[in-house]
Structure 1
């Protein structure tokens, strides 16, 4: 496994070395500014599907982890492009989109960031600055933030689940009431009361 990884990494470095400038290994990060769940996102060199790196999954309005590695030129050049490979859950379709890399901030290479936008389009930047910095070269400044509509939908979904849980607990108590000890009945009633408070709290949030 280690040998295969080294061969894959070395192949990526050789491919990047064909581009203008000296190649360097960059970590891969990913951002999702959309309400869609990203099941898979990775990066490749144009025309070579064996040069890939990444393979992260990202929640809506989320950030992926740091994955090693993908080779980028140490110096930016005007025709620098990569292929972003991505898949949205639950659609099994694997998309490949060639995107241009904007100029490196301060002229310095850094991590390669794969980006999913709200409209489902994708992009990529190379930057040693994160999205919260003013030097960030991405189209959207700052890390992904869930919209109010998305937060409201999540609360409604959670309220529905907690109501179902409460309904289950109450029906279970009624079914087993005459077979339980007084201590068990008291214990289950306390659990039900606690569950009611969770539901009431969520009901206040969604109003």
Structure 2
């Protein structure tokens, strides 16, 4: 005796009806993976990624990555579940070239069609977009970070700043801390010469930007407030001097 076919036809029919909207009845051949950016250059870098095989899909990514830095985790790049030769992704990259204080930054936009390297363990991992030391764009599919022994990328480890870059950053930090010393000395000198005027000016600034610092004082003429200001300026001076000492010990 034949079994009634309607018992089996109903779920099949339901699946066919929802097929156009969902893809529940057949497993997708693609998978979405997280995106990361790594910048091995001195130029600030931004990127977005698009699978050109998916015409209606918008680009993903778009974060700014500092020189010799790495971005966070963004979503999402679409990769085939099964690797095959010739899979390519479109990487829209932007970097900014510093032309000096007088000329500012030059924005450079580029479009790269980059071939996806073979999945090292047979399945797509998270997608890493790298701006390589020579300014080119490469991609790596890996669930491991660049400093992991199993990282499959050609460039091993996180970005290492150049000596020139480290020297420039060091000079900026040193200049900042030396400025802190100068400012603290000026404030202490003014407070000693004319404590009432200095306290009045400090109070007015605190009312605008730091009201917490003046709680507990009756006003700018409060003798305790003047003592507080002197202690505060001395701490700033001590802090900046300590930072300068530290910087001199690690000069690149």
Which range, TM-score by smaller chain? 0.7 to 0.9
Equivalent residue in structure 1 for 2:85, among 78, 81, 94 = 78
Q: Residue 181 of structure 2 contacts residue 236 of structure 2 at CA under 8 Å; is this kept in 1? A: no
Q: Which aligned pairs between 1:182-201 and structure 2 lie closer than 5 A?
A: 183=227, 184-201=229-246
Aligned to 2:115: 100
Q: Residue 169 of structure 1 contacts residue 192 of structure 1 at CA under 8 Å; is this kept in 2? A: yes
Aligned to 1:26: 33
Q: Residue 105 of structure 1 contacts residue 136 of structure 1 at CA under 8 Å; is this kept in 2? A: no
Q: Measured at CA, do residues 117 and 179 of structure 1 come closer, stay the same or move farther in structure 2, by a change above 3 Å?
A: same
Q: Measured at CA, do residues 190 and 41 of structure 1 come closer, stay the same or move farther in structure 2, by a change above 3 Å?
A: same
Deviations along 1:104-152, one digit per CA (max 9) or x if unpaired, are: 1022111111111112111112223332334423220122233444333
Q: Which consecutive unaligned segments of at least 5 residues does structure 1 have?
A: 1-13, 15-20
Q: Which aligned pairs between 1:105-124 and structure 2 lie closer than 5 A?
A: 105-124=120-139
Shift of 1:34: 1.6
Shift of 1:32: 1.2
Look up the SS of the partner of 1:157 in the other structure.
Answer: helix
Aligned to 2:184: 169
Aligned to 2:174: 159
In structure 1, C-alpha distance between the alignment counterparts of 2:123 and 2:58, rounded to whole Å: 23
* Matched pairs, number: 187
Look up the SS of the partner of 2:47 in the other structure.
Answer: strand
Q: Residue 28 of structure 1 contacts residue 113 of structure 1 at CA under 8 Å; is this kept in 2? A: yes
Q: Residue 53 of structure 1 contacts residue 69 of structure 1 at CA under 8 Å; is this kept in 2? A: yes
Which protein has the bigger strand share?
1
CA RMSD of superposed structures (Å)? 2.5
The TM-score normalised by the length of structure 1 is: 0.78
The TM-score normalised by the length of structure 2 is: 0.65
Equivalent residue in structure 1 for 2:248, among 191, 203, 206 = 203
Shift of 1:189: 3.0
Q: Which consecutive unaligned segments of at least 5 residues does structure 2 have?
A: 1-22, 97-104, 196-222
Greater than 6 Å deviation, 4+ residue runs: none
Look up the SS of the partner of 1:161 in the other structure.
Answer: helix
Q: Residue 156 of structure 1 contacts residue 206 of structure 1 at CA under 8 Å; is this kept in 2? A: no
Using CA pairs under 8 Å that are at least 6 residues apart, name the structure with larger relative contact order, 1 or 2.
1
In structure 2, C-alpha distance between the alignment counterparts of 1:179 and 1:49, rounded to whole Å: 70
Q: Which aligned pairs between 1:2-151 and structure 2 lie closer than 5 A?
A: 22-38=29-45, 40-46=46-52, 48=55, 50-89=57-96, 90-151=105-166
